[in-house]
Amino acid sequence: MTRTTKPRLILASLVSGVICGLGLWVTQASAETTLRLAHASSPDSLINKAIEKFAAEVADTTKGSVKIQIFPNAQLGDEGPIADGVGAGAIDIGLGGAVDAIDPRLNVLSLPFLFRDADNVHKFLDSEQGQKVQRLGEDRGYLMLGVLDSGFRQFATSKAIVTPADLAGVKIRTPPNPVILATMKELGALAESIPFGQVYTALQSHVVAAVEPEMRDYYDSKWYEVVKNLSISNYIWTANWWYMNKDKFETLTPDEQAAVKKSASDTVAWYRSELTATYAETQKKLEAKGVTVTTVDTTPFVALVKPVYDKFSSEWGADLVSAVKQAATSN
Q: What is the DSSP string of 71-140?
A: E-TTTT--HHHHHHHHHHTSSSEEEES--TTT-GGGGGGGSTT--SSHHHHHHHHHSHHHHHHHTTTGGG
Residue 80 has pLDDT above 50, yes or no: yes
Express each pLDDT in 258-270 by its tens digit. 999 999 999 999 9
- Domain membership of residue 139 (yes or no) is yes
pLDDT for the residue 273: 96
- Domain membership of residue 12 (yes or no) is no
Rounded to whole angstroms, how far apart are CA atoms 48 and 199?
22
Comparing 14 with 232, the larger pLDDT belongs to 232
Cβ(166)–Cβ(159) below 8 Å: yes
- Domain membership of residue 3 (yes or no) is no
- Domain membership of residue 24 (yes or no) is no
Of residues 122, 107, 100, the one with CA closest to residue 313: 107
Residue 10 has pLDDT above 60, yes or no: no
Q: Is 203 helix (H, G, I), strand (E, B) or coil?
A: helix
- Sign of the torsion formed by the C-alpha atoms of 274, 280, 286 and 289: negative
Count of other CB atoms within 10 angstroms of residue 323: 16
Mean pLDDT of 136-151: 97
Give the predicted TM-score (pTM) of the model.
0.86
For the chain, what is the domain count?
Answer: 1
CA atoms within 13 A on the CB side of 239: 28
- Domain membership of residue 5 (yes or no) is no
pLDDT for the residue 196: 82
Mean pLDDT of 146-155: 97
3-state DSSP percent of the chain in helix, strand and coil, to 5? 55, 20, 25
Express each pLDDT in 286-326 by its tens digit. 999 999 999 999 999 999 999 999 999 999 999 999 999 99
DSSP 63: T
Residue 27 has pLDDT above 80, yes or no: no
Express each pLDDT in 82-99 by its tens digit. 999 999 999 999 999 999
Biggest CA–CA distance in the chain, Å, is 104
For residue 231, give the CATH number of its domain.
Answer: 3.40.190.170
- Domain membership of residue 25 (yes or no) is no
Residues 6+ positions from 309 with CB-CB distance below 8 Å = 111, 321, 325
- Place 42 in a pLDDT band, splitting at 50, 70 and 90: confident
Q: 249: domain range?
A: 32-330
Residue 109 has pLDDT above 50, yes or no: yes
Express each pLDDT in 193-220 by its tens digit. 888 889 999 999 999 999 999 999 999 8
- Domain membership of residue 16 (yes or no) is no
- With pLDDT > 70 as the criterion, what percentage of the chain qualifies? 91
Mean pLDDT of the chain: 91
Residue 251 has pLDDT above 60, yes or no: yes
pLDDT for the residue 31: 66
